[in-house]
Amino acid sequence: MHLILNDPKPWPDLKMLESREICAGALHQRHGRKISARQSLDVATAIAQGRQYFESAKGASHLTKPLLLYYGVLSLARSVIMASDVKGGETSLAEGHGLNAFQWKETLRTTGKTILDLDAEVTRGTFAELAEATKNRERGYSLYHGQYLEPMENLGTENLRADHSSQMLSLSSLIARLPDLTEAYRSTFGCPARAYPTIVYSYGEMQTDYFILNPSGDLPQREVLQERFGWPPSLHLQEQEHHHLLGNIPGLEFRISETTSTAAELEAKFPVKNDRYGFPYLVEPFETGFQLSTLSIMFAITYFAGMLVRYFPSRWAALSSHKDKDKEHSLLIRALDIIEERFPQLALDELYSTPNQEGRYRFW
């Protein structure tokens, strides 16, 4: 099922925001007040820098492309952060990436470990500020009475360092939660990723149905899903193959009907992401309890790839030559291709949004 919801060419709109005056007007409309020339220039410059990094990455060799792509992602992320709060501009941004490589030398020296086993610690910096600026917001769409696409918004973990304890993210856990990579993940590991294709069917405020699909026949058992998502035992996963309006749904495994949950409760129970075609997936929270948006996940993946290329170039070169075990490398390259395609549009969506009276966001 393909909906084709995203603009495949976001750069023309992003390039318009490289104009300080146009950027100032956009920020004025977003915040409802006049923005200083300095502040609007900071945002516009970060967008321009990001675009130039992406352009450089497109023609770069395998030894430099991941690092250039990360710097492009980093610049666009900084523009999103500054656009959400124009009080200070670039001088108010936290120093650091917000992620810190954790014992990578030891991991890469360990027999049986691969690059996907690398961990990073969440620290103060851009990654945490991006989560705070966007509230780890995920925009998507559900079917409304079987006829219309209804915008759907999930809010994730806003404060990644709420208890100031050490929180880790692994590269494999990030890749497993990108819907666009579910088939590539299955080909690499022979098991399902942590994202499950799901038809989300809304009846407005009355009821929301989630039809979990199992096209490959390897969906985890219901008890496993309930534990991973933190669903209460009382939540009923009804085996079903037919919908009274949608008809027979190929690969349908379970139906979950929610009639009493508020929007915030639905977001917490059923975190949904869309792939690049607009098809929804139920995506497991991280083991840390984090619910990260696609924007945040992509930022973190490019951090791993960029730092791996920068500090372990010979290891990356060996993997790129396909002389060693290379399936994990191929999966990471596929992830970077998806990020190169989708991250600019996701950043543009954040730049062109403004809160409504309920504190939620809509496109201008």
How many helices (H) and strands (E) the chain has is answered by 13, 15
What is the model's pLDDT at position 75? Answer: 98
CA–chain centroid gap for 49, Å, is 22
**Domain residue limits, the chain:** 11-363
What is the model's pLDDT at position 32? Answer: 85
Parallel, antiparallel, or unpaired: how do β-strands 195-202 and 138-144 relate?
Answer: parallel
Identify the CA nearest to 282 among candidates 211, 347, 197, 222: 197
Which residues have C-beta within 8 Å of that of residue 160, sequence separation ≥ 6? 122, 127, 128, 131, 167, 290
Whole-structure pTM value = 0.91
Tokens 């191929």 correspond to: 330
Tokens 């820098």 correspond to: 49
Helix or strand run (H / E) with residue 124? strand 119-125
Helix (H, G, I), strand (E, B) or coil at 321: coil
Identify the CA nearest to 6 among candidates 139, 182, 150: 139
Identify the CA nearest to 115 among candidates 171, 75, 178: 171
Identify the CA nearest to 331 among candidates 339, 296, 106: 339
Q: Kindly give the confidence (pLDDT) of every residue in the chain, 364 residues in length, as a single tens digit, with 9 standing for 90 and above.
A: 334 445 558 999 999 999 999 999 999 988 888 888 999 999 999 999 999 999 999 999 999 999 999 999 999 999 999 999 866 789 899 999 999 999 999 999 998 899 999 999 999 999 999 999 999 998 876 665 555 566 777 788 888 875 556 799 999 999 999 999 999 999 999 999 999 999 888 776 678 888 899 988 899 998 999 999 999 888 888 887 777 666 777 788 888 887 766 767 777 788 899 999 888 999 999 988 899 999 999 999 999 999 999 999 999 998 888 766 789 999 999 999 999 999 999 999 999 875 543 343 333 3
What is the model's pLDDT at position 86? Answer: 67
**Dihedral sign (CA 288, 125, 181, 4):** positive
What is the model's pLDDT at position 164? Answer: 54
> What does residue 237 show for φ and ψ, rounded to 5 degrees?
-100, 105
Residue type at position 73: V
| 216 touches 186 (CB < 8 A) | yes
Rounded CA separation 131/265 (Å): 20
